[in-house]
Amino acid sequence: MITSLYHYKRWKWGMDGLSRNIAPHPISMGARTMLQALKYYHQDSITPAAFMELMSRYNTLMYSGVNPYDPLWRPNAHEYYSKWEPNQTVQHPKPSEISHDFHSMYCSLVVEGVVGLTPRDDDKIELQPMALEWKYFLLDHLRYRDHDLTIVWDQPDGEVRYAGIPEGFSLYIDGKVAFTRDQLGHLLYDPATGAVTALNGPVPE
């Protein structure tokens, strides 16, 4: 089952006839289907912007304005609401105790979708980020095929957002820069030769 923030805010313990579940899995399945269509099918109905819009709504549901400095704060990723909660000070139910983790493929959607790492059977590294409208992002310490990857996008605009990392689209392997490009794009990097190939248009320079 899945509900909405509106539903959650109006739900009371006496309203047993209404669902009080927020199950991220249905959203994840929809996002995964969109991502597969974008990466493996020739179509123009589903766009990266549509995928990112769904992820934005997913994030809003998972982080619904709770104070991140609250020591009891946690993502809204859970299967039900628990009536019993330590330190509960409000009438509204709080997330169940299993909400301490990200489940239902959320992290996979960020890694493979937003940032764009596409798992492969060979040693090449394929990146196809969907966050084409974002000005910056950074995914650090991502373990992939016995290496630590850092994938960074800092839109070249004269404002360096990450100390020690140049502006542009960069891949680091075990702390060493593999490449930096001025634009985001669908790229394939070959560690054996250092070659960077654009898979959907001219990006490498």
Whether residue 29 is predicted with pLDDT greater than 70 in this model: the reply is yes
Q: Write out pLDDT tens, residues 85-109.
A: 555 555 555 555 555 556 668 889 9
- For 72: left if phi > 0, alpha if psi spans -120 to 50, otherwise beta; the answer is alpha
Q: Binning pLDDT at 50, 70 and 90, where does residue 14 land?
A: low
pLDDT for residue 153? 98
The DSSP code for 110 is I
Whether residue 10 is predicted with pLDDT greater than 50 in this model: the reply is yes
Mean per-residue pLDDT for 182-188? 94
Q: Binning pLDDT at 50, 70 and 90, where does residue 18 land?
A: very low
Most confidently modeled range among 14-23, 86-95, 159-168: 159-168
CA dist 123 to 11, 69, 120, 145, 194, Å?
51, 41, 7, 8, 12
Mean per-residue pLDDT for 46-54? 95
Q: Write out pLDDT tens, residues 111-128.
A: 999 999 999 999 999 999
pTM as predicted: 0.77
pLDDT for residue 9? 60
Place of tokens 């998972």: 62
Strand order, beta sheet including 117-118: 117-118, 125-127, 187-190, 195-198
In degrees rounded to 5, what are phi and psi of residue 169?
-105, 115
